[in-house]
Structure 1
Amino acid sequence: MGKKQETVEDVPCGNTVAMVGLDQRALRASTSGQAFPQSVFDHWGMMSFDPLEVGSQESTLVTQIRKRKGLKEQMTPLSEFEDKLYLIWLCYHFF
């Protein structure tokens, strides 16, 4: 991956081809609306550390994303997503 530059009708244009995480709003804000990112999803990548570990770089990243999306900064425990009625039904039928 690299950077290519070419001139189109005497207007300098730059094309950047890279795999990066990009906050499009931040890019538009920092360039005063002059940059128009065109992005295509390529792949998922594994995080090298546990995002639940307080103070890790991944934890900070997850917190920033949740804050930007208007979610609670603390991750919701899995128990909040379990269907309580289903668990009661399981206990009634199998135990």
Structure 2
Amino acid sequence: MVVLIVNGEPIHVPAGISVAAALLSYSDQRPLRRAAFSGSPRAPYCLMGACFECAVCIDGQPDRRACLTQVRAGMHVDLGDRDGDL
């Protein structure tokens, strides 16, 4: 298990899974993010890097695809402003 920091809150997840899998399985935050222009709820969809619905800020780098990023201890994931625009 490793600790992933999601919006400042630690969640314990198995090592070796994707950030998207960790967010879907171990985070109670729904929706995971909101679309930048419409504000509509978004979450990982294809889980293979094609749709970009899982794009989040990882360790200060925006628009990282969570489905293609493996978790590591101490990683910081920012889902943006979940109540309004990103």
TM-score, reference length from structure 2: 0.22
Higher alpha-carbon Rg = 1
Of structures 1 and 2, the one scoring higher in RCO (CA 8 A, sep 6+) is 2
TM-score, reference length from structure 1: 0.21
